Amino acid sequence: MKKELKVLTPTGMLGYGFPPQWFERGLSLQPDVITADSGSTDSGPQKLGLGAMTCTYDAYYRDLEMMICGGQKNKIPVFISSAGGDGSDQHVDVIYGMVKDIAARHGFHLKAARIYAGLNKETVKQGLREGRVSPCGPVPELTEEEIDLATVIVAQMGVEPYLKLLEEHPDIDIIIGGRAYDPVPIAALGIKNGFDPAYCWHMGKIAECGAQCAEPAGRVILGTLQEDGFILEAMNPAEICHTYSAAAHTLYEKSHPYLLPGPGGTLDLSGCRFEQIDERRVKISGSKFLKAETYTVKMEGARPCGYRSIAVTGIRDPILISQIDPFLERARNDVYTAYPELKDSTQIIYHVYGKNGVMGELEPVKTPAHELCVIVEAVAQDQETATKICNKTRVQLLHNPYEGRIATAGNIASPFTPLEIPLGQVCKFNVYHLLAIDDPVALFRTVYEEV
C-alpha cells in the first residue's frame, strides 16, 4: 500500500472553469489522479426532463482539454462523473465525443472508458413490484405511471463501477462516468489502493467542490490521503484551508450534522478532528464509514409538466407592502374570476423577494423590507395560456385598489419588456427514490476502448 495518494481536483464542477496557473502548480506536485464531478440536481429537473446540460459545450470542452493535456503530459489518469450535469447516457456520449476530439487534435492515444447510469424503466418497475423502492426524503410514493412519464431515469452510482474498471484496466487514462454520488471520482483510487474508505469519502465530500473549503473560496485543490487521515491544500497561495473553513464545508449539503448517507453506507463524522498543520493546510482524521446492511442507490427522473411564463415587478409603496399578502391573493382570485375554466389547469405562484422569496414559509423574519420584488410565475399546459394568465395577473397587480392607496394606479414597476417573459417547458422531479440492489455494479453498463 502506498503511504500517500494525491488527488487533484481543479474545479467544483466540470465546465465552471479554473485558473490554468494553479492547475499547473497542482500538476507539479505529482498527483496520482485528476478528478472532477460534473453533476448536481441543484439547478433543477430540466436537465433530465429536457435533455439540457448544466454548462455550455465550449465550457466543458475547455476544462476537459486542460485536464486531459495535463494528464497526458504527466501520465496521470482523469476521472469524470455525472457527465453533462444529469449524468444521462446521452450526456456521457456528448462528453466522450469531446474526449475523442481532443485525442485527435493533440495526437493522444487514450485508454478510455464510459460508465452509463441510465436505468431501464422495466428494471425500476420490477424493483417497485418487489418492494425494493422507497422515497428519498419527503416525496410521494413512486408509481408505474410516473415511471412511464419520466423522460429518462438515472441511478446515482457508488464507487464500485470505477473500482471494477480500475481492476480490469489499471493503466486507464480517462473515465467518463454517468450519474454518480458526488465524491465518487475522488474516493475511487484511494479505496482501490487500500486507504480507509472513511477518509476517501470524507475527502471526496469536501474536495468535490474544489477549493470552496478554503478562505477565500477558490477552485483548485489537492487532497492527500494518508493512513491516519487526509490533508487539504488549495493550489492558489492566496487561499488558505483553515480548520473552521474545512469543518464548515463538511456541513455543506447535509441533512444531518455528522451523518452522511450514500451508496453502500453512511459516513459518520461525529468523532472527526480538524488540525492546522501549517499556515495553509489542514489535516482531517477520525472519520468512520458505517457499511449498510442493504445497498441502495438513489434514482433520479424528471418529466415535463407544462409551460412557464414570468413577470418581474417591484413595489415601493409602504401602504401596499403592509398588506401585500391579501393584495396578492385578491389578484389571484380576480384572475380566476375572469378565467374560471383555467383554475384547475393552471398555477399562479408569487415569489416575494424582500419578504420570503428565498425561504418561503420558513422565513423567520416576518417584517418585510421597504421595497419588494414580486415575481409572478404562471404555469399552464401550453405557453400561450401561461403567458395569458401571467399577463392578467400582472395587470391585476398594477391596477387593483387597496385600502389607503393615495395614487390611482402604478402599484408596481416593471423593469423589463416584454412585460411577460415566456420561459418554455417546466419540469419536475417525479422519480427521487432509493432502489435496493444486490450488486452495486450490475445496473451500470461499462464500455472500454482505445481512442
pLDDT digits (tens, 9 = 90+) for 175-211: 999 999 999 999 999 999 999 999 999 999 999 999 9
Q: What residues are paired with 153 via a beta bridge?
A: 301
If we measure between CA atoms, which residue out of 88, 13, 22, 20 comes closest to residue 56?
A: 13
Query: What element of type H or E holds 84?
Result: none
Q: Do the beta carbons of residue 213 and residue 219 sit within 8 Å?
A: no
CA torsion sign for 39, 42, 48, 53 is negative
Dihedral, 252, 10, 161, 266 alpha carbons, nearest 10 = -20
Centre a 10 Å sphere on the Cβ of residue 77 and count the other Cβ atoms it contains.
22
CA distance 180 to 154: 9
Mean pLDDT in residue range 334-362 = 96
Q: Mean of the per-residue pLDDT values for the chain? A: 96
What is the per-residue pLDDT across 134-186, written as a single tens digit (0 to 9) for each? 999 899 999 999 999 999 999 999 999 999 999 999 999 999 999 999 999 99
For residue 43, the model assigns a pLDDT of: 84
For residue 252, the model assigns a pLDDT of: 86
**Buried (b) or exposed (e) across 391-417, using 16+ Cβ within 10 A?**
bbbbbbbbebeeeeeeeeeebbeeeee
Q: Are strands 421-437 and 133-135 parallel, antiparallel or unpaired?
A: antiparallel
Mean pLDDT in residue range 90-111 = 98
What is the per-residue pLDDT across 364-398, written as a single tens digit (0 to 9) for each? 998 999 999 999 999 999 999 999 999 999 999 99
Where does the pLDDT of residue 42 fall: very low under 50, low under 70, confident under 90, or very high at 90 and above? confident
Centre a 10 Å sphere on the Cβ of residue 351 and count the other Cβ atoms it contains.
16
What is the per-residue pLDDT across 402-443, written as a single tens digit (0 to 9) for each? 999 988 878 999 999 999 999 999 999 999 999 999 999 999
CA distance 280 to 277: 8
Mean pLDDT in residue range 294-299 = 97
For residue 40, the model assigns a pLDDT of: 86
Global pTM?
Answer: 0.93
What is the per-residue pLDDT across 57-80, written as a single tens digit (0 to 9) for each? 999 999 999 999 999 999 999 999
Residue 1 has pLDDT above 90, yes or no: no
